[in-house]
Structure 1
Amino acid sequence: MLNRVILIGRLTKDPELRYTPAGVAVTQFTLAVDRPFTSSQSKEREADFINIVTWRQLAETCANYLRKGRLTAVEGRLQIRNYDNNEGRKVYVTEVVADNVRFLESSGSTNRESEAGTSSGNGRSSEQQDPFIDDGKPIDISDDDLPF
């Protein structure tokens, strides 16, 4: 049997981080995933809004680094659970329990500028702490440094 889901979409709002009574981190967010076709009447692309749940270290990472609008890939399993609400009605919840989340785009330049102004406890700015801040920019390497 197989239960695997792979989605790519954008967050509809910032993730919500909570902790269980046992102290386990859990984060919930919604991913807007475009459908592969457009509406025949309005010619607009439609989207599905899929609830995502992450646990433990992945939950804390998502809460710290994901923000509304960020393009994100999620891999996990589909889960359908139910509970009785206050009115005694059975409520069904369909969600993806993610075990792998990839951040597909870096934060915008406005984010980078605001992070550079903030300082952490060790006196270094956030920009200096991130070793991948210049990811995608050319690296200045001389021919003598190359092994081939």
Structure 2
Amino acid sequence: MFNKVILIGNLTRDVELRYLPSGQALAKCGIATNRRFKDSSGMQKDETMFIDFTVWGRSAEIANQYLRKGSKVLIEGRLTLEQWTDQNGQKRSKHSITVENLKMLDRRSDSEQGHQGGTGYDQAAPTYNQPQSTYAQPAAQQQYQAPVQQQTPAQQPVQELPTIDIDEDDIPF
């Protein structure tokens, strides 16, 4: 069996950080996620889910430092069932998320709106750039360059690389 949950949404309240007697950091918060769909009559509907989550360790401290009510986040973790007895002796339970990965999705300017003095979070949302491959260049622009070895002028052998004449029609890709 596999228990994995990935949610994107906005925090419903500020992060509540506390430390256990062992010194381990524990943060609790909630996330609101939206789903837009058409009902059977074709009307556009919005459904909002409110889910509590728990973050442990250094991630809990970072969440407390940089996140505020309304911050946009992606959380990845596992669904857990919390059970307790309330003040009236009634057994209660709820599902929540135990977070394994948390990503801040707000840009700095977004996170500072409504938080006077800034949050100290000065990094934009993650951007992933793939390295450019030589295969992405047109064949006419590709050139072979021999590796350069550091040698003194007296040690450098005189060597010329042969020129290979390849017709573009011979290249299989």
Calculate the TM-score normalised by the size of structure 2.
0.61
Task: For residue 43 of structure 1, report the CA deviation from its aligned partner.
Answer: 4.4
Task: For residue 106 of structure 1, report the CA deviation from its aligned partner.
Answer: 1.6
Q: Which has the higher strand share?
A: 1
Letter matched to residue 103 of structure 1: M
Secondary structure, counterpart of 2:118 in structure 1 = helix
Task: For residue 22 of structure 1, report the CA deviation from its aligned partner.
Answer: 1.9
**Which residue of the partner structure matches residue 120 of structure 1?**
none
Distance 1:39 1:26, change over 3 A: farther
- Partners of 1:27 and 1:60 within 8 A in 2: yes
- Equivalent residues, number: 123
Q: Distance in 1 between matches of 2:87 and 2:118?
A: 43
Task: For residue 39 of structure 1, report the CA deviation from its aligned partner.
Answer: 6.5
Letter matched to residue 115 of structure 1: G
Letter matched to residue 26 of structure 2: V
Distance 1:110 1:13, change over 3 A: closer
Identical residues among aligned pairs (%) = 33
Q: Distance in 1 between matches of 2:22 and 2:86?
A: 23
Q: Distance in 2 between matches of 1:76 and 1:61?
A: 17
Structure 1: gaps (5+ residues)? 117-125, 137-148
Larger radius of gyration: 2
Mapping 1:102-141, distance limit 5 Å: 102-108=103-109, 111=112, 114-115=117-118, 130=122, 132=123
Distance 1:24 1:87, change over 3 A: same
- Structure 1's consecutive aligned runs of 4 or more residues displaced over 3 angstroms after TM superposition are 38-44
1:31 aligns with 2:34: no
Q: Distance in 2 between matches of 1:64 and 1:40?
A: 44
Secondary structure, counterpart of 1:108 in structure 2 = helix
**Which residue of the partner structure matches residue 64 of structure 1?**
65
Secondary structure, counterpart of 2:117 in structure 1 = helix
Distance 1:107 1:39, change over 3 A: farther
**Which residue of the partner structure matches residue 54 of structure 2?**
53
Q: Distance in 2 between matches of 1:68 and 1:110?
A: 10
- Partners of 2:36 and 2:45 within 8 A in 1: no
Q: Distance in 2 between matches of 1:39 and 1:65?
A: 38
**RMSD (Å), alpha carbons:** 2.8
Distance 1:38 1:49, change over 3 A: farther
Task: For residue 104 of structure 1, report the CA deviation from its aligned partner.
Answer: 0.9
Q: Distance in 1 between matches of 2:69 and 2:45?
A: 22
Letter matched to residue 27 of structure 1: A
**Which residue of the partner structure matches residue 11 of structure 2?**
11
